[in-house]
Chain A
Amino acid sequence: MSLFYFVSFLSILFSLLVIFTKNPVYSVLALIATFFTFTIQYILLNAQFLAVVNFIVYMGAIMVLFLFVLMLMNLNKESEPMKSNLIKVVGVIAGGTLLVTLVGATKMLQTSEVSALPNSDIGLVENLGKVLFNEFLLPFELSSILLLTALVGAVLLAKKDKRTQNG
């Protein structure tokens, strides 16, 4: 139980670091740490498949993309022009209002205090695979098409345009 609160504290701390550090590379590193705490949360929830996928996809693929783009553009310096303090304060106030609204709505919820997990085996690969390939077979195939189109789109977007180079 205390492990949950410790990990939650760490994720809040690291996600605050993501948005408040000046250097973008430190932001990416804090984001990696945040994703790692989320992986621990998934393990605590006994969602082992999601923990592994989170670890591979977010801490592997997405982080490599972010770091690669940052290093490619040579942005690893604190050259970002910051917004004015007024906008910062207004942004924090707006976010705080959202948080207060969400927390207030949560207070009205009647969630059961006893939280014995009814069937804690649903997060295992075997059970998730059965659900995924029986009920969600069509969305699964469609998501593969989505990934393919994203791949083609990313290559097309990032490719240098020949016409603008010549003219």
Chain B
Amino acid sequence: MDNITATIQVVPLNHYILLSAIIFTIGVIGVLIRRNAIIIFMSVELMLNAVNLLLTAFSAYSGDASGQVFVFFIMALAAAEVAVGLAIIVMVYRNTNSVDINVLNRLKW
């Protein structure tokens, strides 16, 4: 384990920020350009994971364990969110026979 942690000690914190920013942006683009509700949901998961990774990196680099505890809470929240969100998608599919988000525009009125 020592040599594994020794390998990362030369990675600057900036690179973790860049990686998380790129993954987060990919998630945002996925939400913007797709119409399948499940894939939009997966993009939201990507964004959550990017934030998790960045929080863990900050926590490890500043030597504070609270960040990792917070990541643990985010994971519990994400699990709850996925369960409820997929249930909603199943209901939408049952009522409209599609998971295309464009059929949901009747929610506007």
Contact = CB atoms under 8 A, between A and B. Distances in A.
Note whether A and B form a binding pair: yes
B9 A18 contact: no
Interface residues of B, number: 76
Contacts of A57: 75, 78-79
B32 A94 contact: yes
Chain B interface mostly: helix
Interface residues of A, number: 88
B84 A99 contact: no
Chain A interface mostly: helix
A95 B63 contact: no
Contact of B35 (A69, A82, A99, A135): A82
B21 A69 contact: no
Given A19-B33, A46-B1, A50-B56, A12 B22 contact: yes
A106 B18 contact: yes
B68 A154 contact: no
Contacts of A136: 66, 69, 73
A95 B28 contact: yes
Interface of B: 1, 4-5, 7-15, 17-19, 21-30, 32-36, 38-39, 41-43, 45-46, 49, 52-53, 56-57, 59-66, 68-69, 71-73, 75-84, 86-91, 93-94, 99-100, 102
Nearest first, the 9 A-B pairs at minimum CB distance are: A91-B32, A150-B80, A19-B30, A95-B29, A118-B63, A157-B87, A91-B33, A102-B21, A99-B25
8 contacts: A11-B23, A12-B19, A18-B43, A44-B5, A135-B66, A143-B76, A147-B80, A158-B91
